Amino acid sequence: MVERPFHHGNLRAELLDHAEAVLREDGADGVSLRDLARRAGVSHGAPRSHFVDRQALLDALAVRGFERLGERLREVGAVDPDRAADATFEEAVQRVARAYVDFAVQDAALMELMFAAKTDHASAAVERAAAGLFATFDELLDQHRPDQPMDPHDRQRFGLLFAAAVQGTASLVGSRRISADQGAALVDDATGILVRTFFPTLRPAPAGERPPAAPRSAG
């Protein structure tokens, strides 16, 4: 009844919420366990009950990031049953790619955490979450092309190429090497090329939206 313990099981989540806010504001360097404890109104040793060390908290943030990004991509990439598969496929790929880059723009520091360079030990939880994200790429592919299942090898290639394109754009935008607008255009361009390379029969050249020339001389 009384609010004595102040935190009855939700301290972990509250710490993560505060951490996410600080991360967005000041970057990963600004995330301090003592500061988070202060914000939550607990002693500086309290976080230790939920995170063995600072890295464990950052890893938990990364896991959350992978999960949230995956959810968003699944929302955005859902099949539209009212439209022809062909017409909707490239659009869906492009929407997913755009959502990926948008995420990186809005949460650049979180994205950096999710793809941080691993010098030594890797967190198993983070690796699992990351693998889950990449698995959704494959799911989306299968969802949209049930009539035309891809060769497993090509499916993996497409997935990796897609991942490299969106992650590369995300990295360039997140580090401010290019603008958000440039990133959106870039990722559109990349997905267009990918789709046309792997599905040359789709969209028989609407004239005006093609690269310099057809990747395959369609005649």
Partner DNA sequence: ACCTGAACACCGTTCAAGT
**Binding to a second copy, residues 160-179 (CB under 8 A):** 160-161, 163-172, 174-178
Q: Which is nearer to a second copy, 11 or 102 (CB)?
A: 102
Specify the long-range contacts of residues 4-11, CB closer than 8 Å, at least 24 apart: 6/41, 6/42, 7/40, 7/42, 7/46, 11/40, 11/42, 11/46, 11/47, 11/49, 11/50
Q: Which residue has the tokens 């995300």?
A: 170
Instruction: Considering the complex, state which of residue 7 and residue 199 has its C-beta at the smaller distance from a second copy.
Output: 199
User: Could you say whether residue 48 binds DNA (CB under 7 A)?
Assistant: yes
Measured from the CB atom, the residue of 11 and 98 that comes closer to a second copy is 98
Does 206 sit near DNA (CB under 7 A)? no
Separation of CA 99 from chain center: 8
Q: Could you say whether residue 26 binds DNA (CB under 7 A)?
A: no
Using the 8-state DSSP alphabet, how is residue 149 labeled? P
Report if residue 39 touches DNA, rule: CB under 7 A: no
46 binds, among DNA, a second copy, none (CB under 5 to 8 A by kind): DNA
Task: Give the number of other CB atoms < 10 A from CB of residue 11.
Answer: 20
Among positions 56, 116, 180, 202, the unique one binding a second copy when judged by CB under 8 A = 116
- In whole angstroms, the minimum distance from the beta carbon of 104 to DNA comes to 25
Binds DNA (CB under 7 A): choice among 13, 21, 25, 44: 44
CA within 13 Å, CB half, 218: 15
Task: Give me 70's structure tokens.
Answer: 């995956």
Q: Which of 212, 209, 203 is nearest to 90 (CA)?
A: 203
How many whole angstroms separate alpha carbon 164 and alpha carbon 167?
A: 5
In the numeric block, which tokens belong to residue 191?
């997905």
53 contributes a contact to DNA by CB under 7 A: yes
Partner in contact with 171, chosen from DNA, a second copy, none, beta carbon below 5 to 8 Å by kind: a second copy
Cα dihedral sign for 109, 110, 115, 120? positive
**List of residues contacting a second copy (CB under 8 A):** 25-27, 108-109, 111-112, 114-119, 122, 127, 130, 134, 151, 154, 157, 160-161, 163-172, 174-178, 182, 186-187, 189-190, 193-194, 196-198, 200, 211-217
**List of residues contacting DNA (CB under 7 A):** 5-7, 9, 11, 31-35, 37, 42-46, 48-50, 52-55
